[in-house]
Structure 1
Amino acid sequence: MPDAALLVIDMQEALLDDAHDVEACLGTVARLAEQARSAGVPVVYLRQRLDDVPADLADVHPAVAPRPGDAVRPPGVPSPGHRRPGSASPPRPRAR
């Protein structure tokens, strides 16, 4: 398992409408994703569930869209470290 990954988080069109300097942000994310892919670093997309927007606006912006080989985590799927209410806390790392 790789020890690093590039996480591309919430780059959905509906979420970028009011963002500051969207074009610069998209360019930076696209460049970082390409550099990660070229270096063999996995690119992982995380998206919010957007029930109140048209489906096409809930997609990742085309300028930074996932490419073959990238991982896309469906909206609403908890991450491996996610805790549900009432669940036990994960063990804390011990000081050395």
Structure 2
Amino acid sequence: MKNTPNTALLVMDMQIGIVSRLADPKPVLANVTKAIAHARKAGVPVIYVTLKFRPGMPEVSSNNTVFASFKAQGAPMDTEAFAQVHPDLAPQDGDIIIKKLRYSAFPGNDLDMILRAQQITHLVLTGISTSGVVLSTLREAADKDYQLTVLSDGCADHDEEVHRVLNTKVFPRQAQVMSVEEWVG
């Protein structure tokens, strides 16, 4: 599917502290770089969504199993260095940067308001990880009635089998799944 006039590219959790956890981030970085270049050339807004907590992570409840364990381990998820977008994908003037507080791109920020104000109805999703931010954002965005495309090779996960299953069996129920090359072609 080609871009609709009301499309935005979401570049999610592609920040230094998350990218550095991948065994080989080069392929996904190269693919997302290509998607960003295509979006900019086509006039599609590029929106960066990053995970960023305040110092000490006061937004994390002990009831939130995953983030509470990161907090207990002293993971640096509350630092600027962790939250900085990977330099290969650096935002440019005019790009929007959203900070989030949970897996999905929507909680704790004004992403939905910005999308609606810009009359964006179609989201193209990229991000790390496929089973985290991409899955959670896809589910919430579908419930908010956004049209969705997932760029399968613009996403990465620590578990390749989970990545494959999500892109071939789960995501197609609510989104069009395609490669970056198909999207830019």
- TM-score, scaled to structure 1: 0.72
The CA deviation string for residues 41-90 of structure 1, in whole angstroms up to 9 with x for no partner, is 00001111255424223201000011111111133433438xxxxxxxx8
Gaps of 5+ in 1: 82-89
Structure with the larger helix share: 2
What residue number does 2:112 align with? 80
CA distance, structure 2, for counterparts of residue 67 and residue 91 of structure 1 = 28
What residue number does 1:70 align with? 95
What residue number does 1:5 align with? 8
Aligned-residue offset at 1:3: 1.2
Structure with the larger strand share: 2
Secondary structure, counterpart of 1:32 in structure 2:
helix
- Is 2:58 the partner of 1:26? no
Greater CA drift, 64-73 or 48-57: 48-57
Root mean square deviation, CA, Å: 2.5
The higher-RCO structure (CA 8 Å, 6+ apart) is 1
CA distance, structure 2, for counterparts of residue 74 and residue 49 of structure 1 = 6
Aligned-residue offset at 1:18: 2.2
Moved over 2 A (4+): 74-81
- Is 2:91 the partner of 1:59? no
Secondary structure, counterpart of 1:72 in structure 2:
strand
Gaps of 5+ in 2: 58-74, 102-107, 114-142, 146-185
Aligned-residue offset at 1:35: 0.6
Identity of aligned residues (%): 33
Length, aligned pairs only: 83
CA distance, structure 1, for counterparts of residue 29 and residue 49 of structure 2 = 15
